[in-house]
Chains A and B, each alone.
Chain A
Amino acid sequence: MIKQARDIPTPVKYLINLALFIIFLVVVNSMIASKTISGYYTKVIMLIGINIILAVSLNLATGYLGQLPLGHAGFMAVGAYSSAIFMKAASALPMFIALPLGLMIGGTVAGIFGFIIGIPALRLRGDYLAIITLGFGEIIRVILLNIDSVLGFNLTYGAASLKNIPKTTTFLGTFICVFIVCYVIHTMMKSRHGRAILSIRENEIAAESCGIKTTYYKTMAFVMSAFFAGVAGSLYAGYLGILNPSNFGFMKSIEILVMVVLGGMGSMIGSVISATVLTALPELLRAFADYRMVAYSLLLIAVMIFKPSGLMGTYDFSLSRLLGKGLSRLPARNASPARKGDDR
């Protein structure tokens, strides 16, 4: 049990977390500006940020809601293409308007697709949901490949790739998005909405009998998950500057899923760490990159055997909790037997 009285007050904890994050942004950003971090590593770091958003958003649907969607790359693709098409058309707009708007458009379009897929898919359970979402991901990819010939004009440029997308994604932009996505998911999960989502994972019938509108909350979590995947897709479009439907195949969905499973279903910090490691490793060990899928499978099997709950289990890490522990070693003034709250 953690003694509340010796804990840091909540607003202070929030400020500490925010300050630490800003320091991280400023330090890394100035290192990038001064070329201490090379252009290549900057790209790797940005990719890590994008993959963190993908993993954390998928974790919402798998780890917290307890479903197994296999089409996360589909939502990412929808977001990437819609934001890219918007950004190309909106080149006259000033960047500080176009960029957030592009991210919102990518997220919203993906969220709408999440809603359309979620309504029927969430009525199904387990394997069926996996199959439906897998089919959705593939359908999206095929549509992106062929839609131009149906429309009669060039929209996605199919296999020829959508080129000349403004390269607007920066380190700063990416990690501000990472922060916002993590913050929103974290705070939601500590509210009645988040508890409702967890209760569905734990026992749907019991959740219903507690008066929870399970269909509503399932759809909400699923749409949110798709929305953030769309945001990640938008960042990805502005990061690459060129999009091809083959970027968003089934294997991309699996890659994201592996990050979540490896990190521990239902652990946000687990998703963040494993997204970081699994993005950085293949990039840093170039020779290893060809064997990535083999390594993924082996890693996954090893985790399933030795630590089925994932590396972090469902543990959620917090810097301020660590600080709180440090403080609790100091002599207590008023150790009331308070209970562990939600935000430590």
Chain B
Amino acid sequence: MPRRDPHETLIPERDKDKTPAIECIGLGIDFGGLTAVDDFNFTLGRTEIAGLIGPNGAGKTTVFNLLTKVYQPTRGRMLLEGRDTKNMTTAQANRAGIARTFQNIRLFKELTVLDNVLIGLHNEIHVNLAQAILRLPSYWRCERVARERAMDLLSIFDMTGVADKKAGSLPYGAQRRLEIVRALATNPTLLLLDEPAAGMNPSETSELMENIRKIRDMFQISILLIEHDMNLVMGICEGIAVLNYGRIIAKGTPEEIKSDPDVIEAYLGKKGH
């Protein structure tokens, strides 16, 4: 099978004529002397589901932190729907369309499931402080609409029944699903999922796969996911990028990646060693 150039883009046919959801050009970051990510070139179609894989410590989460502006890149540029994201804060990046989940779950644990989603809807609720304190009709209307929207979003994962439970009291898998719902609530164009299936059993994982596809179809957004579960990655990703020591070592369709000698070596180590 012919090898692809690691800098080539893999946008699916249907997204070719639209501005990419995100375009990274030579993105890189150093932590002191350590180059965690380097020369990261990556383009994502508007309705594409793509995967970012690689061994532990390869720099996958760091890429997410760069995309969401938790870290500012040392080099390179990043275009979000064609707009340069230089000097954006994390909150601004979110409002510009990037939402994410976290590898080590970061829910608002002491708050209810519903409140977690309502916080995701923060910028969708247009009530100012005076309206809220005076409890004007606009406050009640916006709150009611937001609650209905939150319940709709929770229903994607059949979670309306636990809306009043503390987020921290949910089982692990449900917490991961809630993080996805909260991210969706911010009305993103690009959803980043950091190991969404971690800690899930096989049946939960296959259900998650279905739901990720469903979300893409419902919301018409692009999804980039980091995952160690190869069944999931190979099952739903249209394009995959493999990261090792902070660099992309291969890009391709699931079939191409499975048989790529560099990838096999990165995962299994050099033969004979």
Binding site for B on A (CB under 8 A): 1, 10, 14, 183-184, 187-188, 190-193, 195-196, 198-199, 202-203, 205-214, 314, 339-342
Beyond A191-B139, A195-B122, whether A208 also contacts B108 by CB under 8 A is no
- Interchain Cβ contacts within 8 Å, total number: 103
**Chain B residues within an 8 Å CB radius of A209:** 68, 70, 90-91, 94, 99-100, 102, 183
Segment from B55-63, B77-85, B125-133, B257-265 that makes contact with A: B125-133
Binding site for A on B (CB under 8 A): 68, 70, 89-91, 94-95, 99-100, 102, 106-111, 114-115, 118-120, 122-123, 125, 127, 129, 132-135, 139-140, 143, 146-147, 151, 163-164, 182-183, 185-186
Cα of A8 to Cα of B167 in the assembled complex, Å: 27
**Chain B residues within an 8 Å CB radius of A184:** 133
**Chain A residues within an 8 Å CB radius of B123:** 211
Cross-chain contact A198 with B94 (CB below 8 angstroms): no
Cross-chain contact B122 with A342 (CB below 8 angstroms): no
Cα of A205 to Cα of B107 in the assembled complex, Å: 10
User: Which residue of B has the minimal Cβ distance to A14?
Assistant: B135
**Chain B residues within an 8 Å CB radius of A199:** 108, 111, 119
Main secondary structure of the interface of A (DSSP, over half): helix
Cα of A339 to Cα of B132 in the assembled complex, Å: 21
**Chain A residues within an 8 Å CB radius of B163:** 339
Cross-chain contact B110 with A202 (CB below 8 angstroms): yes
Cross-chain contact B102 with A206 (CB below 8 angstroms): yes
**Chain B residues within an 8 Å CB radius of A207:** 108, 119
Cross-chain contact A195 with B115 (CB below 8 angstroms): yes
Cross-chain contact B109 with A340 (CB below 8 angstroms): no
Cα of A211 to Cα of B93 in the assembled complex, Å: 8
Cross-chain contact B164 with A187 (CB below 8 angstroms): no
Cα of A339 to Cα of B164 in the assembled complex, Å: 7
**Chain B residues within an 8 Å CB radius of A211:** 91, 94-95, 122-123, 186
Main secondary structure of the interface of B (DSSP, over half): helix
Cross-chain contact B108 with A212 (CB below 8 angstroms): no
Cross-chain contact A191 with B89 (CB below 8 angstroms): no
Cross-chain contact B95 with A205 (CB below 8 angstroms): no
Ordered by A's residue number, 10 sampled pairs between the chains whose C-beta atoms are within 8 Å are A1-B164, A192-B132, A195-B111, A198-B111, A198-B115, A202-B107, A210-B122, A211-B123, A211-B186, A342-B143
Cross-chain contact A187 with B133 (CB below 8 angstroms): yes
User: Which residue of B has the minimal Cβ distance to A2?
Assistant: B164
**Chain A residues within an 8 Å CB radius of B129:** 188, 191, 193
Q: Across the A-B interface, give the 6 residue pairs with the lowest CB-CB distance, nearest first.
A: A191-B132, A202-B108, A211-B94, A206-B106, A208-B90, A192-B125
Known: A188-B129, A210-B186, A214-B91. 12 other contacts (CB 8 A): A187-B134, A191-B139, A195-B111, A199-B119, A202-B108, A203-B106, A203-B107, A205-B106, A207-B119, A210-B99, A211-B94, A211-B122
User: Which residue of B has the minimal Cβ distance to A185?
Assistant: B133
Q: What distance in Å separates the Cβ of B203 from its nearest Cβ neighbour in chain A? A: 27
Cα of A195 to Cα of B108 in the assembled complex, Å: 10
Q: Which of A14, A190, A314, A340 contacts B164 (CB 8 A)?
A: A340
Cross-chain contact A187 with B132 (CB below 8 angstroms): yes
User: Which residue of B has the minimal Cβ distance to A199?
Assistant: B119
**Chain B residues within an 8 Å CB radius of A340:** 164
Q: What distance in Å separates the Cβ of A2 from its nearest Cβ neighbour in chain B? A: 9
Cα of A1 to Cα of B161 in the assembled complex, Å: 11
**Chain B residues within an 8 Å CB radius of A342:** 143
Cα of A10 to Cα of B137 in the assembled complex, Å: 12
Q: Which of A187, A192, A208 contacts B91 (CB 8 A)?
A: A208
Cα of A184 to Cα of B130 in the assembled complex, Å: 10
Cross-chain contact B127 with A192 (CB below 8 angstroms): yes
Cross-chain contact A206 with B107 (CB below 8 angstroms): yes
User: Which residue of B has the minimal Cβ distance to A205?
Assistant: B106
Please indicate which of the listed interface residues A190, A192, A196 has the most CB atoms of chain B within 10 Å of its own CB: A192
**Chain B residues within an 8 Å CB radius of A205:** 70, 90, 102, 106
Q: Which of B100, B111, B122 contacts A192 (CB 8 A)?
A: B122
**Chain A residues within an 8 Å CB radius of B111:** 195, 198-199, 202
Q: What distance in Å separates the Cβ of A15 from its nearest Cβ neighbour in chain B? A: 12
